Amino acid sequence: MTVVREAFGARLSRAVARRGPLCAGVDPHPELLRAWGLTPDARGLETFALSATEALAEHVAILKPQSAFFEAYGSKGVAVLERVLEHARQAGTLVLLDVKRGDIGSTMVAYAQAYLGDGSPLAADAITVSPYLGFGALEPALTLAEATGRGVFVLARTSNPEGESLQRADSGGRTVAQSVVDEAAARNAGVEPLGGVGLVVGATIEPGGLDLTGLNGPILAPGFGAQGAEATDLAPLFGDSLPNVLAASSRGLLRQGPDPAALRAAVLRTQDELKHVLR
């Protein structure tokens, strides 16, 4: 396995400068497999995931496989996920593995080793984590990510309605979501060009709910594309933090398959939209 040492923020900044801020998802949802004319089983999963990775990876800065759709097929699905990680590395793209892990003590240590540890077959360049057992419980992942040059994206303000009451609850005069932002900002303080502790902030939430100005880290914005958010929605939501936003699109791109040329064309169209907004 490749040993990573350069800081994730530096590697991400360079990749985005070269390929743009689009984060392409690989979500092998059964409906998508059927739309591609594939059976929703391990064989269909393999064809879908590897074809999507081959078509998308070399054109985007970061690829985001959704781990749950691989895990649903047991050991065969996890083996496919390992191959996706390897193919993405060979294409020169970073991989953000969407696992949303969050636990305490030795369990969190084990999760960190599985996804962020040198030598693990599931190690990615970054992972998503949940802070809602306490931000401090993420310490094993934060520490190991920093030591190995990897990153973490912490769920802060998600667009699902079930998260509203928790994330917007008061936490000492600020919302719980803002407290997550502030904790991440403290970890990124003074890091150049960008810290390795990112946030997940839904692209479909109402603007004005978070102060992201001091984050000094990347922001993953899911909901762009098929879930309704458009490139023009990003500026009012993220303001001065817009240069650090990774707009995530999964099904909006994948529905253009299985033709590889159509998938690549969708990526290029989306990148053009994002470039226009960033200008």
Question: What is residue 59's three-state secondary structure?
Answer: helix
CA distance 201 to 215: 12
Q: Which residues contact 261 (CB under 8 A, 6 or more apart)?
A: none
Interstrand relation of 22-26 and 245-249 (parallel, antiparallel or unpaired): parallel
Q: What are the catalytic residues?
A: 100
Q: Are 166 and 133 in contact (CB under 8 A)?
A: no
Q: Which residues contact 74 (CB under 8 A, 6 or more apart)?
A: 42
Q: Which residues contact 259 (CB under 8 A, 6 or more apart)?
A: none
Q: E strands along 12-93, which residues?
A: 22-26, 62-65
Q: Are 185 and 161 in contact (CB under 8 A)?
A: no
Indicate the helix (H) or strand (E) that contains 152.
Answer: strand 151-157
CA distance 121 to 259: 29
Burial of 264 (0-12, 13-18, 19+ CB in 10 A): middle
